[in-house]
Chain A
Amino acid sequence: MNAREVPLTVLLRLVATVQGVVAAMYLFLPRVSDVALGISRLPSEARLLFGRHCDLIALILTGCAALTWRFARDFARGAGAIGRWLAATIGVFWTFRSLQQLDALLDCEPWMLSAHLAACAFSAGLALVYFLTASWKTATGGDTPCEYEPEPDATR
């Protein structure tokens, strides 16, 4: 592995691990947040919606984490159009998430301020890592498993 690839590979593996942990946390969020937010006091439809919302986020984050972990080295090599688009779209996802957290931050009650602030910074940080990955250029260049190679022209 090229020495320039190592820091980004490690960073991406770290980001993948963190996303995996957050995904696992989301599965327990309805139960944990009940203490702070009184979810069990809400109508049953509301509890179900909150539960499905958490399940969906857990599913998406697991997907992002798996892709990032599996292809971290390829991303770090400057992985061609497919790798760059993948990283950029995950970056867009986290940008929206941080904007939502920012919106919640402006309306939240004082005791929730630090939690929203931390969540906003976390989301923005992840967005930054993915955008950095999407724009990553390395000296190695060349083909990687993420680089799409068109099939050779059979007529030649």
Chain B
Amino acid sequence: MKSCLQIVAITQLGVAALNLFLPRILKWKEDIARMPLLLREVFHVHAWFISITLSIFGVMTWRFASEMAAGTNEALRWLDAGISVFWAIRAVLQVVYYSSSHWRGLLLRSAIHVALLVLYGGFAACYLWAALGGGN
């Protein structure tokens, strides 16, 4: 359980860092530059917001992986439950929010879509497990 949480912590820190470079990786820079000012600002704030939130989740999980795995601390169990809800909502959004036109018929994009769904669902399950008592 502790190792699982540590892997989840590192992965979340990786996603937090990757999120800041998403416009460059997905070649969105020109599209973003053409957006109205307000939308551009919301986009950047949103990206930072996600990265900071995921960094906090990652740091707390890494620092207290043993305690989370033990499942004996009530504050951490609340935190686990909160993070689990966050990732569960994100996993649901991956299915119901994004249009299938982004990936249908495209092998690589379909694989990425499924991989992200498994990743987010896995995060939610891992934190839910910890919130329910983990290894105890």
Asked whether A66 and B78 contact (CB < 8 A) given A59-B89, A85-B64, A92-B56, the answer is yes
A140 within 8 A of B: no
Flag if B50 contacts A56 (CB, 8 Å). Answer: yes
B58-88 CB mask vs A (1 if < 8 Å, else 0) is 0110011001001011111011001001100
Flag if A100 contacts B46 (CB, 8 Å). Answer: no
Interface of B is mostly: helix
Stretch at the interface among A1-9, A16-24, A45-53: A45-53
A28 within 8 A of B: no
User: Closest chain B residue to A82 by CB distance?
Assistant: B75
B107 within 8 A of A: no
Flag if B73 contacts A148 (CB, 8 Å). Answer: yes
Cα distance A71–B74 in the bound complex, in angstroms = 9
Stretch at the interface among B8-16, B18-26, B31-39, B116-124: B31-39
Interface of A is mostly: helix
Write out the residue numbers on chain B whose beta carbons fall within 8 Å of the beta carbon of A82.
Answer: 64, 67, 73, 75-76
Flag if A149 contacts B72 (CB, 8 Å). Answer: yes
Write out the residue numbers on chain B whose beta carbons fall within 8 Å of the beta carbon of A125.
Answer: none
Flag if B79 contacts A67 (CB, 8 Å). Answer: yes
Write out the residue numbers on chain B whose beta carbons fall within 8 Å of the beta carbon of A89.
Answer: 56, 59-60
Flag if A93 contacts B75 (CB, 8 Å). Answer: no
Given contacts A67-B82, A86-B79, A149-B72, 8 further A-B contacts (CB under 8 A): A46-B35, A53-B49, A57-B49, A63-B86, A71-B75, A79-B75, A85-B60, A148-B73
Q: Contact residues of A with B, CB < 8 Å?
A: 37, 42, 46, 49-50, 52-53, 56-57, 59-60, 63, 66-67, 70-71, 74, 79, 81-83, 85-86, 89-90, 92-93, 96, 100, 104, 145-146, 148-149, 151
Q: Contact residues of B with A, CB < 8 Å?
A: 35-36, 38-39, 41-43, 45-46, 48-50, 52-53, 56, 59-60, 63-64, 67, 70, 72-76, 78-79, 82, 85-86, 89, 93, 97
Nearest first, the 7 A-B pairs at minimum CB distance are: A63-B82, A46-B39, A53-B46, A89-B56, A146-B75, A148-B67, A96-B52
- 9 A-B pairs (CB sep. < 8 Å): A49-B42, A67-B79, A71-B78, A82-B67, A85-B60, A85-B63, A93-B52, A146-B73, A151-B72
